[in-house]
Structure formats: C-alpha cells, structure tokens
Amino acid sequence: MFLSDNSDNFFQKQDKADLEILRNQLFDFYYTNTSINKEYEPPRIFNKIINILAFKKKLKGTTRGTVSKFTLPIEEIRYNRINWRDIGKDKGITREEFEAALGKNAEVQGYFKYNIQKAKRFVKKIHPFSEIHRFKEYPGLQAHHIFMESEFPEIADSPENIIILTPNQHFYRAHPTIKPLLLMNVIKQSA
C-alpha cells in the first residue's frame, strides 16, 4: 500500500524533513488518483490520516503542519470534537444565540466583570504611574478602557485595551461629561 511504504520513514525518524517528503508524496498521490484538484483539500485529509496512524502506533503525529511535540492523545484525532468556543453550548443553537443567552446569565456576567477587574489589576501592576506622564509624581490609580466596555465588551477584559491614569486625567480628560457633583462623590468614595 502506498501510505504504509511512504510513512515508514516518517514514523521511524519522526522529523520534519520526512514529514515534508511524506506530505508531498501523498499530495501527488491524491492529485493523480482522485478527483481532488483544489490545493486546500489534501492538507485537511493528510493531517487526519497521519494522526490516526500516529495514534495507533503511539508515536508523534502532526499539529499545525509540523511534527507534534508529543504522542497524540485520542482527543487530537476525534471526529467532530467540541470547539473550545462551544463548551457548554447546545449543538442545536448558533454561537450568537448562545452568547446572547449567556449575556443574560448573572453568573456569567459576574465572571466577565471579574476578568475585567483582573485585567485592570494586571495593567496597574505593570504601570504604577500614569501612562501619560510616567513620572512618580503622577501615580496611576485608575484604569480606563480605551474602547468603552459598554460598546466593545469582547475586548473589555483585554489588558491592551486598558490604560492607567491619575484620577484627574481619568475624570477630566477621559470622562469630561461627568457631572461635578457626581465626580466629588466618586473622589470621596475612592479616598
């Protein structure tokens, strides 16, 4: 059989060069002996075949187009495995419907808020001073979302979307429309 003859070298040596030779030989075989003629199809088939054989032989297979760093567990070859974004989702609903339902769940909202606070603490730890001045005289006491949390919730817990400011920079520059009375209450509560 074509595959067993050409795969022996790869499964004996388990190196990138032999994987590439096997890949090219298998692609040529596909194009010559099947109706497959699109370039994106053989890689999809190749990885599945090699990984099933690797699992059976208890050897390394392929991950992301290169030799895996470890022998493959059953999860790597399982058909129709659950995507990490779909954990806990019923297969009968779309991701959008699932995310909309999660948005109404108080427990999930609490976890979301926790992740935002965690990201803010992380950025404050990295930048103890205002990111505008970066002097010790301007301690960074408040975290501000560059893209508003309410408008961009998908990146609200991303440290890259958070900047550290002094309270004055935060309230007078980042949120200039806050009413002065409300501002005084906020400052008193944070003191």
Which residues sit opposite 162 in a β-bridge? 145
The answer to whether residues 55 and 11 belong to one domain is yes
- Are 29 and 46 contacting, i.e. CB atoms less than 8 angstroms apart? no
Instruction: Report the C-alpha gap between 2 and 106 in whole angstroms.
Output: 57
The answer to whether residues 124 and 51 belong to one domain is no
- Are 25 and 6 contacting, i.e. CB atoms less than 8 angstroms apart? yes
The answer to whether residues 185 and 110 belong to one domain is yes
The answer to whether residues 69 and 111 belong to one domain is no
Which among 76, 91, 115 is the end of a domain? 76
The answer to whether residues 109 and 174 belong to one domain is yes
Tokens encoding 180: 């002065």
* Structural domain includes residue 96: no
The answer to whether residues 114 and 185 belong to one domain is yes
The answer to whether residues 114 and 186 belong to one domain is yes
Count of domains for the chain:
2
pTM score above 0.85: no
* Structural domain includes residue 92: no
> b or e along 67-100 (b: 16 or more beta carbons within 10 Å of the residue's beta carbon)?
bbeeebeeebbeeeeeeeeeeebeeeeeeeeeee
The answer to whether residues 53 and 7 belong to one domain is yes
Find how far residue 174's CA is from the centre of its chain.
29
Q: What Å distances lie between residue 50 and 10, 11, 13, 15, 23, CA to CA?
A: 10, 10, 14, 13, 9
Domain that holds residue 126: 105-190
The answer to whether residues 67 and 114 belong to one domain is no
The answer to whether residues 183 and 110 belong to one domain is yes
Which among 61, 76, 91 is the end of a domain? 76
Q: How far apart are the first and last CA of the chain?
A: 77
The answer to whether residues 184 and 126 belong to one domain is yes
pLDDT by residue for the chain (191 residues), tens only, comes to 455 566 788 888 898 888 888 888 888 888 888 887 777 777 777 888 888 888 888 989 888 778 888 887 877 777 666 665 566 677 788 877 877 776 655 556 677 788 899 999 998 988 888 888 767 778 888 898 888 887 778 888 888 889 998 888 887 777 766 545 454 555 555 55
